[in-house]
Chains A and B, each alone.
Chain A
Amino acid sequence: MLDPDLIGRTFVGANATSVTQDQINQFAAVIGEENLTVAPPTFSISISLDQSQKLLQDSGLDWSRVVHGEQKFEIKRPIVAGDQLICSSTIESYRVAAGNEIVSVRSDLHAKDELVVSTWSTLVVRA
């Protein structure tokens, strides 16, 4: 179960993730995207899910039972190769329904002071 003291708290990653052209190319290849100058719209999930899991690994959530319920992106500008992105994750809401824990995590990716993308993931920890 989630430690309730963590609701509303923001965890900021210590290290930036460097985006490489190769990562963008690989992601684009999966969906048949031929324009490789910017990352596809959902590319940021490959950074934010992993980073938020690391930031919240001591939260009490059982990540092995997590399923993805809902996802939202607000993209301020597309991610490009060479971006150095710092992830900050906040548990925005939490409830328990029929024994399942339903957690909404907002993760913002910043390049220095510039907000590049905000993502909201609703995660369901199955009972």
Chain B
Amino acid sequence: MSLSTGQELAPKRYLINRALLKQYADASGDQNPIHQDEAFAKSVGLPDVIAHGMLTMALAGKFLSDLNGSAAVVEFSAKFIKPVVVPAGRDVELIVSGKVGEINEGIAKIEITAMCEDVKVLGVAKGAVRI
């Protein structure tokens, strides 16, 4: 695997919809109704159903895994700065891109950007991947 500091990693596109939220809820065990029930989400002041922050992070994690396999990912962190709102009946696009930071002792730091409809949804998202 060859990566060099400063290298830009091509963006990847992931689609999020209500069916995926249900699938993630079942896979992760996080059945919080704000991720599935529109009436409930609105009752607690949200604009609509929102994606699990951890689903967005799992998709950004796939971006890291694609560099050198899941087994090579040694660190991953992010802040959930904006919700990913998922209206009924359509796909919401998440675009994940990255830039290679410092490489030290076979481990590359990766700065990740995750955008949803031109809004940055993860803050200071960083991974470290064995190369």
Contacts and interface: CB of A to CB of B under 8 A. Distances in A.
B27 interface: yes
Interface in B44-89: 53-55, 57-59, 61-62, 64-65, 69-71, 73-80
Contact of A42 (B58, B69, B71): B58
Contact residues on A (Cβ < 8 Å of other chain), bracket: 20 to 34
A27 B57 CA distance: 13
Contacts of B57: 42, 71
Given A30-B58, A70-B79, A71-B77, A40 B26 contact: no
Contacts of A27: 27-28, 58
Contacts of A62: none
Given A72-B76, A74-B75, A31 B58 contact: yes
A31 B62 contact: yes
A68 interface: yes
A58 B26 CA distance: 26
A32 B80 CA distance: 22
Contacts of A78: 70-71, 73
Contacts, number: 97
Interface of A: 23, 26-27, 29-33, 35, 37-42, 45-46, 49-50, 67-78, 120, 122
Interface of B: 14, 20, 23-24, 26-30, 53-55, 57-59, 61-62, 64-65, 69-71, 73-80, 127
21 contacts: A23-B27, A27-B27, A27-B28, A30-B24, A32-B14, A33-B70, A35-B65, A37-B71, A38-B70, A40-B61, A41-B70, A41-B73, A42-B76, A49-B29, A71-B53, A72-B75, A72-B76, A72-B78, A74-B75, A75-B76, A78-B70
